């Protein structure tokens, strides 16, 4: 399974995953990252500053050792139009022809400026009397798609596909829920995608222009703090109450909730006999403590949070990392069944390459057939005998190299085993001494640490303080440490003694960053040595072949002319 980059670029943030997809649609996650974009780089999906985008993406890919050369983009823009259509059940080729023929009816625009794509939502089932297909047809501005091909070219990446963000999320979500009629709310930084599925088939999808930014801005304004500190507080304390009670942070979510409610009401009006049975929260909801209870109290059906994806495997399997990965739902689903927006020029280039390949195969086949039918069996025997003799001479002259080759590969296996043993002996706990050193430098004076536990690179810190904001400050400082990946609050409680003094007890969990992969490094060295060794072998063989050709030239010079030897084939 080759590694591939999956990139989702929003207005303010970019999310990147380095993934491997298996044939069974399971996903292996090698690395993930989220970074804040420079202002003005992207607007409504369009790349406004290619130079800034190139420099920024190249730097974060290098810093995070993401070396894959293939890329999938998942894009969202208000300029991408969609139309759900019903068609008779047909194969893929006929479906594409039908969409092209009727595109002007679906989208009243100048189609030369757009690229069409589609995804089948419901294949139908003749056995159940369902003889039609439901197809979502999409039209994206050509300039928008070209932007991402240009960006990939500047980054020296090969575009495997460009997916619609709504489809990316749907492909992952449908594999995480049961067959009930389900409302799936995918909260993102600046918008929210509302999905309603029945029997894992998408019935309705809408994008709401509100997301995590609402409570984040409300908390910043209410407390006079910056965005980073507000993000930490939303992740660690329940600023979101269980009902809309007038609290400014909780009330800010009302705009989001009312828009979701309008989508639900629209669905209920279309599918009266298929009421929603449950709801799921996914995406940035894991960073908004309390939102699950708020939505559960406002809806008349159960609401639960997806905090682990089925079919997703991590290098370091633990609950904390799985919870973080659920924020990357669009990146993970982009490579499962992409709608694949492709410019006409790229499509024509692929067709020309395939046509040339077929022509080349046809020409080679015709030549081979001509040689086969025109050749005389006796000539074949003569040439085969001469070739066998030459090959045997070459084998005899380089036979001694076999021992050198065997010795080399024995050394190769020993070296690889040693490198693998070195990798197995390393542990994420090796970062502990650096962690303790930085911890002593960053710990606020009001924090008292009572216990630290380290296991498989996961750290649990128990301590006390007198005021809660100190904990938020402490978490921010921990996140800024060079060898810490992420920080979560496990427990938080307050006690008051007989003198009225309040003490807050807390437990924090965090992860060490991954150590270098020595096996990968060893394989790189071995691969280079193999190339050097093979080069030496080729040089030796070339020298032997040159010697053979000189012998054959001398032998030929001593032979009589063809005209003086009537039956030269027998003498040979």
CA angle, 18 as apex, 304 and 323 as ends, to 5°? 20
Domain membership of residue 43 (yes or no) is no
> What pLDDT score was predicted for residue 3?
93
Which among 171, 202, 168, 158 is positioned nearest to 188, based on CA atoms?
A: 168
User: pTM for this structure?
Assistant: 0.64
> What pLDDT score was predicted for residue 518?
41
Residue 369 and residue 269 in one domain: no
> What pLDDT score was predicted for residue 572?
32
Taking the C-alpha atoms of residue 529 and residue 541, their distance in angstroms, rounded to an integer, is 18
* Domain CATH code at residue 272: 3.30.420.40
Taking phi over 0 as left and psi of -120 to 50 as alpha, with beta for the rest, 156 belongs to: left
Taking the C-alpha atoms of residue 234 and residue 180, their distance in angstroms, rounded to an integer, is 31
Domain membership of residue 524 (yes or no) is no
Residue 269 and residue 361 in one domain: no
Domain end, chosen from 463, 489, 512, is at 512
Tokens at 453, concatenated: 């536990």
Domain membership of residue 149 (yes or no) is no
pLDDT digits (tens, 9 = 90+) for 59-98: 999 999 999 999 999 999 999 999 999 999 999 999 999 9
Domain membership of residue 278 (yes or no) is yes
Residue 298 and residue 351 in one domain: no
Residue 292 and residue 202 in one domain: yes
The range of the structural domain enclosing residue 277 comes to 177-305
Residue 187 and residue 299 in one domain: yes
Residue 442 and residue 364 in one domain: no
Residue 297 and residue 369 in one domain: no
CB 274 within 8 A of CB 249: no
Residue 365 and residue 433 in one domain: no
Domain membership of residue 217 (yes or no) is yes
Domain membership of residue 572 (yes or no) is no
Domain membership of residue 80 (yes or no) is no
The structural domain count of the chain equals 3
How many CA within 13 A on the CB side of residue 378? 2
> What pLDDT score was predicted for residue 27?
93
The packing angle between helices 401-425 and 518-557, to 10°, is: 170
Q: What is the DSSP string of 236-256?
A: HS--S-SS--S-HHHHHTHHH
Residue 464 and residue 366 in one domain: no
Residue 298 and residue 355 in one domain: no
User: Which residues of the chain, if any, have pLDDT below 70?
Assistant: 1, 24, 347-379, 399-400, 416, 419-431, 514-572
Residue 269 and residue 350 in one domain: no
The packing angle between helices 468-479 and 432-442, to 10°, is: 140
> What pLDDT score was predicted for residue 318?
83
Domain membership of residue 421 (yes or no) is no
Residue 293 and residue 357 in one domain: no
For residue 124, what are the contacts with CB-CB under 8 A and spacing of at least 6?
A: 89, 130, 131, 132, 133, 134
Taking the C-alpha atoms of residue 265 and residue 262, their distance in angstroms, rounded to an integer, is 5
* Domain CATH code at residue 452: 3.30.1360.100
Taking the C-alpha atoms of residue 482 and residue 35, their distance in angstroms, rounded to an integer, is 16
CA angle, 484 as apex, 36 and 155 as ends, to 5°? 40
């Amino acid at each position: 399974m080759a590694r591939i980059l999956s990139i989702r670029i929003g207005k303010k943030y970019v999310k990147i995953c380095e993934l491997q997809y298996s044939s069974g649609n399971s996903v292996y996650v090698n690395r993930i990252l989220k970074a804040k974009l420079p202002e003005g780089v992207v607007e409504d999906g369009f790349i406004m500053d290619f130079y800034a985008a190139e420099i920024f993406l190249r730097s974060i890919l290098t810093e995070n050792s993401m070396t894959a050369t293939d890329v999938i983009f998942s894009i969202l823009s208000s300029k991408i139009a969609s139309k759900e259509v019903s068609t008779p059940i047909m194969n893929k080729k006929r479906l594409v022809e039908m969409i092209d023929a009727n595109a002007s009816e679906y989208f009243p625009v100048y189609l030369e400026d757009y690229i069409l794509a589609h995804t089948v939502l419901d294949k139908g089932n003749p056995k159940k009397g369902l003889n039609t297909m439901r197809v979502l047809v999409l039209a994206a501005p050509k300039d928008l798609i070209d932007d991402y091909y240009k960006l990939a070219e500047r980054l020296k990446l090969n575009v495997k596909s460009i997916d619609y963000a709504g489809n990316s999320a749907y492909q992952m979500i449908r594999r995480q829920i049961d067959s009930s009629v389900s409302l799936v709310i995918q909260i993102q930084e600046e918008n929210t995608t509302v999905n309603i599925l029945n029997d894992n088939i998408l019935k309705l999808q809408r994008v709401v222009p509100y997301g995590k930014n609402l409570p984040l801005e409300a908390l910043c304004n209410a407390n006079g703090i910056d965005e980073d500190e507000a993000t930490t507080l939303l992740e660690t304390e329940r600023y979101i109450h269980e009902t809309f009670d007038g609290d400014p942070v909780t009330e800010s979510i009302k705009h989001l909730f009312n828009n979701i409610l309008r989508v639900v009401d629209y669905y209920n009006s279309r599918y009266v006999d298929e009421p929603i049975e449950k709801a799921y929260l996914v995406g940035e909801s894991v960073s908004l403590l309390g939102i699950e209870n708020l939505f559960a109290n406002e809806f008349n059906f159960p609401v639960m949070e997806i905090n682990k994806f089925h079919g997703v495997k991590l290098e370091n399997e633990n609950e904390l990392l799985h919870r973080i990965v659920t924020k990357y739902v669009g990146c993970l689903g982009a490579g499962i069944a992409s709608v694949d927006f492709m410019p006409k020029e790229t499509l024509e280039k692929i067709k020309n390459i395939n046509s040339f390949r077929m022509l080349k195969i046809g020409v080679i086949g015709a030549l081979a057939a001509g040689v086969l039918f025109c050749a005389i069996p006796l000539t074949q025997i003569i040439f085969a005998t001469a070739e066998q003799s030459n090959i045997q001479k070459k084998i005899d002259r380089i036979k001694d190299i076999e021992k050198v080759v065997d010795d080399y590969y024995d050394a190769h296996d020993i070296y690889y085993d040693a490198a693998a043993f070195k990798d197995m002996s390393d542990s994420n706990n090796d970062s502990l001494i650096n962690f303790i050193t930085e911890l002593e430098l960053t710990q606020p004076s009001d924090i008292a640490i009572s216990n630290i536990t380290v296991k498989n690179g996961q750290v649990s810190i128990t301590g006390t303080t007198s005021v809660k904001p100190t904990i938020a400050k402490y978490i921010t400082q921990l996140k800024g440490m060079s060898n810490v990946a992420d920080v979560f609050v496990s427990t938080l409680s307050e006690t008051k003694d007989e003198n009225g003094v309040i003490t807050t007890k807390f437990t924090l969990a965090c992860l060490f960053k991954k150590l270098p992969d020595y096996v990968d490094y060893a394989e790189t060295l071995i691969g280079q040595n193999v190339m050097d060794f093979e080069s030496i072998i080729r040089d030796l063989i070339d020298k032997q072949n040159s010697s053979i050709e000189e012998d054959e030239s001398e032998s030929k010079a001593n032979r009589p002319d063809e005209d003086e030897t009537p039956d030269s084939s027998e003498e040979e």
